[in-house]
Amino acid sequence: MKVLVTYFSQTGNTEKIAKAICEEAALANEADLKKLEDLSSGDFAGYDFIFIGSPLHASKLAGPVQEFLGSIKAGSGQKMAAFITHFSPAYPDQAMDEFTEPIKAACKEKGIEYKGYFDCQGVLAESLHERVKKKQNLTDEQWADMVKQMTGRPNEEDEGKAKAFAKEVLA
């Protein structure tokens, strides 16, 4: 099977997960790792299975990922799975439907089989800490706890979980 792992990543978190997924996919497939910005919508058709990755931006998929989904020129019999990183620890306990909806809708429209998503925490860029702390109205203590939870993420455990997800959806 020909597998594409494509992603948008500004600070490397989503890229880390993309690399882990690609490593797993390459064990039994021909797998390519490509940044979304290096991909043209036509490239897409040559793959049997596509993993697409995005950070959460303002509770949505990142703009370039949303845009790309609209421009896909699908081949036949393709499958797609998503991976998402976010700084908030709350998301794993919440339904991610809101974030995966645009991916599911694009798959439906283009006749691609949607295979599910993986998500994990990713550290928030330092430059945004003050703004987010204020916006979420958190005390110093609450924010310190938040920072503690996101520091070092995605970690080895996250990468391992991403690989297990890839193995499952590719099977």
- Which residues are near ligand FMN by CB under 6 A? 9-15, 55-59, 85-88, 91, 122, 124-125, 128
Closest separation between CB of residue 48 and ligand FMN, Å?
25
Whichever of 86 and 163 has its CB closer to ligand FMN, that residue is 86
Closest separation between CB of residue 125 and ligand FMN, Å?
6
Which pair of tokens denotes residue 50?
Answer: 């596509």
> Which residue intervals of the chain are DSSP H helices?
13-25, 63-71, 97-110, 129-135, 140-150, 156-170
CB burial of residue 24 (10 Å; 0-12, 13-18, 19+) = buried
Closest separation between CB of residue 142 and ligand FMN, Å?
15
Whichever of 71 and 94 has its CB closer to ligand FMN, that residue is 94
How many CB atoms sit inside 10 A of residue 23's CB? Answer: 16
- Of all residues in the shown chain, the one whose CB is closest to ligand FMN is 122
59, amino acid identity:
S
Whichever of 79 and 153 has its CB closer to ligand FMN, that residue is 153
Whichever of 29 and 149 has its CB closer to ligand FMN, that residue is 149
Which pair of tokens denotes residue 95?
Answer: 């339904």
Closest separation between CB of residue 24 and ligand FMN, Å?
18
Which pair of tokens denotes residue 92?
Answer: 């794993």
